[in-house]
Amino acid sequence: MTLCPVPDLLAAARPGGLGAFNVIALEHAESIVAAAESRNRPAVLQISENTVHYHGGLRPLARACLQLAADSRAPLAVHLDHATSHELITEAMELGITSVMYDGSALDYAANVEATAAITARCHERGVHVEAELGAIGGKDGAHTPGVRTDPDEAVAFVSATGVDALAVAVGSSHAMHTRDARLDTDLIARLSAKLPVPLVLHGSSGVPDSGLQAAVRHGMAKINIATRLNIALTQSVRSALADRPELSDPRRYLGPGRDAVRREVEHCLEVLALR
């Protein structure tokens, strides 16, 4: 299966939601691809700007993800997530990544509109899909802290002014949650979905229970970003393997089970989002 544009994957996922999973190590990417193949569902491999900093550059991990996706039997895309650097977005496009999220949520509204519109125009010249975030509070948690909500009228104005293709909205989730008790405002999701001409994206989905994710999709959420759940699964598996066999020194002996744990978690998420 060749790499697919994100709009095609959004359509293929309906009536369910499109699962988008963050890649930190190669094992994450291999797990996501294997899960998408086993469940015959579309998925997105996401590389965040934080992960780029961790690896010291985008190119090696991006090329690996692009190759894995191109060789896969499943419909997949590679996406640059939470990018604030214009240079990084340019590099992503040059590498062949066809979907980026520009995160201007740390800016005030006017500056966010100006920066997002400029990025979107550049990306659209190359046929690249652009996701943005509308937030009133700075920082990665920004718009997704539990008490903050996206105003539908402001969101409509933002999309019109910037020309973005998808919008991450604040409806009750929060990044990096280790508990799964976030309560989403499904009425707000429905109102946003009815007003906005672009797909809605849920960030911080790891803190939402399965029933909440399904309700979000049924009320109009289109793309569901998941990261922390995968990291928890990997870490728990590695801890268990090393506790059981403290003499292990070959990383394949503990990262292999960790990779399997991530694959199982992605498979579960894909089943949940399929609304079967």
Q: Which residues are known catalytic residues?
A: 81
Report the C-alpha gap between 144 and 203 in whole angstroms.
7
Contact between 81 and 22 under an 8 Å Cβ cutoff? The reply is yes
Amino acid at 51: T
- Plot region of 190 (φ>0 → left; ψ -120 to 50 → alpha; else → beta): alpha
Dihedrals φ, ψ of 247, to 5°? -80, -5
Contact between 100 and 122 under an 8 Å Cβ cutoff? The reply is no
Amino acid at 242: L
Could you tell me where the beta strands, DSSP code E, fall in the chain? Answer: 18-22, 43-48, 76-83, 99-102, 129-133, 166-168, 200-202, 221-226
Computed on alpha carbons and rounded to an integer, the radius of gyration of the chain in Å comes to 18
What is the DSSP code (8-state) at residue 17?
Answer: P
Contact between 139 and 178 under an 8 Å Cβ cutoff? The reply is no
Contact between 34 and 27 under an 8 Å Cβ cutoff? The reply is no
